[in-house]
Chain A
Amino acid sequence: MDAHGPLSEEGLVRLLSHTGERLDHPDFGRFAAELDAAALRHMWHDMTVVRAFDQEATSLQRQGELGLWVQAVGQEAAQIGSGHALRPHDFVFPSYREHAVAHTRGVDLPEILRIFRGLQHGAWDPQAHGFHLYTLVIGAHALHATGYAMAMARDGRVGTGQDSDSAVVCYFGDGATSQGDVNEALTFAAVNDAPIVFFVQNNQFAISESTARQSRVPLAQRGAGFGVPSVRVDGNDVIASYAVTQWALQHARSGAGPVLIEAFTYRMGAHTTSDDPTRYRSHADEAYWAERDPIARLETYLRGIGELSDQDVEAARAESKELGKRTRETVKAWERPAVETMFDHVYAEPHATVAAERAWHSRYERSFADQGAHA
């Protein structure tokens, strides 16, 4: 592996070693200072519950209840750490793997599965959660996030020093950094001093392609060319992920412009349930990263300082089990939407073509009912 390349672990901000020892950092250590044991237990709890949900969703896909599932296993620290740094009036633009962030924004996890059961393309109210819908076109939402941040700045929601100061966090992956839209977003955000944090989860794979196929240099280095301050963080370290996001949010909310965070992590699962990682990565690689499991790391630390008890672990296990049960029941209870709903919300105002086709379809459906009546 290239010691200075996109997969190197060089220059990562780290506040918790992979064996669970607490570390300090001269620049970012202070941004985690407010995390007391209760806050860390909360993060551990969220990571644990979200992983259990993720595994339940994978099972549901295997049982044929979901068309597809996009696993986030391994990326919990990057997502929970950054998610916990957000305020309610900040706004998140996720890609489609940010289930843990969704959880921190108050989205009820089973609701996400409406998308993957094929009921609808969007499954929550973005304004109610400060959490936009998933975007499946890679990187396209980076521009929406930038525009939304520009709107925040126009509304005077930055740089006042008040608690109302806000920022946008936009999540995307290593593959997305090759997209034109992400590069345009960095340009637009920089020249407009938009209050936005670009949060790259470098999970080392764009489906099967290594990050080395996307970049010659660590992705955080991309920021410099746009004039965007950037940082590389150990994305499997929830404390460091929190700290750099806290720093970045403060920077953006102050009106000083965008920030780029590269959270270096590992996609422990497949790209989706349709993917087969054994075709492109080794067991040795997987084993190396299994030792760096973000949840185990925090658990080791908390247990070591006597802040995580067997009862805490048992309670989280019971809650996870209950969530799994509720998820299964919720998913299986969902009924297929009424067919005519496919014509709903194509436009906000009436459109003659949609109206005509809806009317035709309704007559067509009724023709079978009439046949039935005369049969």
Chain B
Amino acid sequence: MTTMTMAGAINRGLRAAMERDPKVLLMGEDIGQLGGVFRVTDGLWKDFGGDRVVDTPLAESGIVGTAIGLAMGGYRPVVEIQFDGFIFPAYNQITTQLAKMHYRSQGLITLPVVIRVPFAGGIGAVEHHSESPEALFAHTAGLRVISPATPQDAFDMIQQAIASPDPVLFLEPKARYWDKGEVDESRVAAQLEGEHAASAATSEMSRGRVAREGSDVTLVAYGPTMRLALQAAEVAAADGTSVEVIDLRSISPLDSDTVLRSAKRTGRVVIVHEAPTAFGPGAELSARVTEQAFFHLHAPVLRVGGFHAPYPGAKLEHDYLPSLDRVLDAVDRVMTH
């Protein structure tokens, strides 16, 4: 076990993937000599050179579009989009091309492209630097959308995403980049050397996990809101409410089985994410819980998330984002319904 920050764990994971497979290359703006604006690729340009850690022209559609071509040519590009709000120039390439090529070609063309995106808010940034666009991508068949919440998951999941034959949006909760945790580097290495590495990796990165066991309320989160969810569970415990916390890890596919198992025991579900609640991942999860566990529910499924307003200026962001009070309020409401 080694102590790492999440940014450091992604860096170590990228390095391991590049050492494992010479076809893996990194592409993005300022990821070379500078090491990325968040320093996630720090040191990789020096060790692997500019041919494998490629500073691209400043054009997101161009980055993703050429990554598609490189993947068709046998490479495994890992693209960095500098900030969530800057992914939209590439939205067409991601949704009409990257997502659909395997289908269009009836399986003849696989596009193992990973798109890393520092996302979500809470860092006092200017416009376009704090957004949570995961629902837009989860709504598109052909893409996988995952987000780690711990350094261990960041280290494992970035390598699993690279090993997967499908395109993956790898959403990095930027506010958690500097949180530290213990990382076991050996487990995923063994998995990725196995015979069915790509299948095992894809399957594992698609599963949620129970992060804290409880019996009264199921609190579902992922990536940016996991720390908040665990804090809320802690505070609720002091008030005598036992909260089970589920870390989804994957938004597409959505591991509703893990949520349903818990929901059928607790009968109460609260979902918390930074993305706007309207048409968000929580709406989909709520629908699934209602469809598949209706008679187990003691209360309506509640969502806590961003509002149907553009992400506000930094002075207001903590009122826009889910807070401990808002999560506890939702927990109270499902308990007293």
Contact = CB atoms under 8 A, between A and B. Distances in A.
B66 interface: yes
B102 interface: yes
Interface residues of A, number: 43
Interface in B67-125: 67-75, 89, 92-93, 96-97, 100, 102-110
Contacts of B21: none
A224 interface: no
A148 B141 contact: no
Query: Chain A interface secondary structure, helix, strand, loop or mixed?
Result: helix
Interface stretch (B5-13, B182-190, B249-257, B309-317): B249-257
Contacts of A268: none
A178 to B, nearest CB: 14
A161 B110 CA distance: 31
Interface stretch (A57-65, A182-190, A296-304): A182-190
Interface string A182-219: 00110110010000000000000000000000000000
Contact of B252 (A135, A144, A350, A353): A353
B69 A348 contact: no
A126 B108 contact: yes
B102 A144 contact: no
Interface in A220-251: none
B65 A150 contact: no
Contacts of B203: 349-350
A345 B103 contact: yes
A353 B107 contact: no
Contacts of A1: none
Contacts of B57: 184, 187-188, 191
A127 B199 CA distance: 24
A347 B202 CA distance: 11
Most buried by B among A152, A348, A352: A348
A141 B92 CA distance: 11
Contact of B108 (A125, A181, A344): A125
Contact of B165 (A125, A187, A348): A348
B65 A347 contact: no
Chain B contact patch, size range: 35 or more
A126 B110 CA distance: 12
A143 B110 contact: no
Contacts of A336: none
A43 interface: no
A122 interface: yes
Contacts of B59: 180, 184, 187-188
Nearest to A146: B66
Contact of B65 (A121, A132, A147, A353): A147
B144 interface: yes
B307 to A, nearest CB: 27
Given A127-B108, A151-B73, A352 B67 contact: no
A181 B89 CA distance: 10
Given A148-B69, A185-B62, A347 B144 contact: yes
A77 interface: no
A326 to B, nearest CB: 23
Given A122-B105, A188-B66, A348 B61 contact: no
Nearest to B60: A184
Contacts of A125: 108
Contact of A354 (B64, B107, B141, B255): B141
Given A127-B108, A140-B93, A350-B203, A151 B69 contact: yes
B56 interface: yes
Contacts of A137: 92, 96-97
Contacts of B96: 137, 140
Contacts of B254: 352-353
A100 interface: no
Contacts of A141: 97
A-B complex: 7 closest residue pairs judged by Cβ atoms: A147-B69, A143-B65, A151-B73, A184-B62, A147-B66, A348-B165, A148-B69
Interface of A: 120-122, 125-127, 132-133, 135, 137, 140-152, 154-155, 180-181, 184-185, 187-188, 191, 344-354
Given A140-B93, A181-B65, A181-B92, 18 more contacts: A122-B106, A122-B108, A126-B72, A147-B67, A147-B68, A147-B70, A149-B69, A154-B73, A180-B59, A180-B61, A181-B61, A184-B57, A188-B59, A347-B142, A349-B198, A351-B253, A352-B206, A353-B252
